[in-house]
Amino acid sequence: MSDPRAPTDQLRRDAIAAAVAAYDHANPQAPLPRNAARLLIVMFASGDMCQRSQEAIAAEAEYDRARLPRALRRLVEAQLLSRERGSGRVPHTYHLHLPPWEAVMRGRCAPTDRSRRDEIAAAISPYAPRRMPRLADDAIRLLTVMFADTDVCRRNLESLMAEGFSRDTLALLLRILIRAGIVLKERGVSRAPNTYRLLQPPPRQP
């Protein structure tokens, strides 16, 4: 039987996970507590407000009850949460504050390896001036998201949309990149996502 509190919106789960990853990337010396994303997903399964006891949160998130107060304080300090004190038997109220997607992109999505960024820029540069002058920046950003560490991407569209792309923009960029021969698409089977492969740019004509 599925957990009634488990988030059914993949986009929401991805948004929370991306925000945590972005913070950790920007603060490598002081990352968030382990399993912070899991904790936030449980607390904010269907909305941006949580008013549950710490016992209930710890039990559902399978989080150490003794460490939970410190983890929550850390998330408040990171400004991913704000807290309203409860009174008596009324538990504290927590509000989720996800950062703007532009900040997430700066913190998480751009490859940290300069040579990798150069490879992606090289793959798109032969086509950008002629076929996508206005979309070149967005196309490069999408490629850095899809192929940050490898030339193969098996993420679904909802997961890519969670990186800050609208459905229409994402569909347009993928169509252009595929037609240009920059990305190869292999259709998934059943519920498996499509596989996208980053192709090397064709040799330049002398």
* Domain map (residue ranges) of the chain: 10-101, 110-198
The reported pLDDT for the residue numbered 2 is 38
Task: For domain 110-198, give its CATH number from 1.10.150.20, 3.20.20.210, 1.20.1260.10, 1.10.10.10.
Answer: 1.10.10.10
Q: Flag whether pLDDT at 3 surpasses 50.
A: no
Is-contact 86 92, C-beta < 8 A? yes
Query: Alpha-carbon distance 138 to 116, whole Å?
Result: 17
pTM of this structure: 0.49
What is the pLDDT at residue 113?
55
Per CATH, is 10-101 categorized as 1.10.10.10? yes
Work out the mean pLDDT of the chain and round it to a whole number. Answer: 77
Find the range with the poorest average confidence among 3-7, 19-23, 97-101, 174-178: 3-7
CB 42 within 8 A of CB 5: yes
* Residues 69-72: contacts with CB under 8 Å, at least 24 apart: 70/33, 71/33, 71/36, 71/39
Mean per-residue pLDDT, 95-99: 84
- CB environment 79-97: b (16+ within 10 A), e (fewer): ebbeeeeeeeeebeebbbe
In the predicted model, what is the mean pLDDT of residues 20-24?
78
% of the chain beyond a pLDDT of 90: 20
Q: Which residue has the higher pLDDT, 36 or 115?
A: 36
Which residue did the predictor score with more confidence, 194 or 1?
194
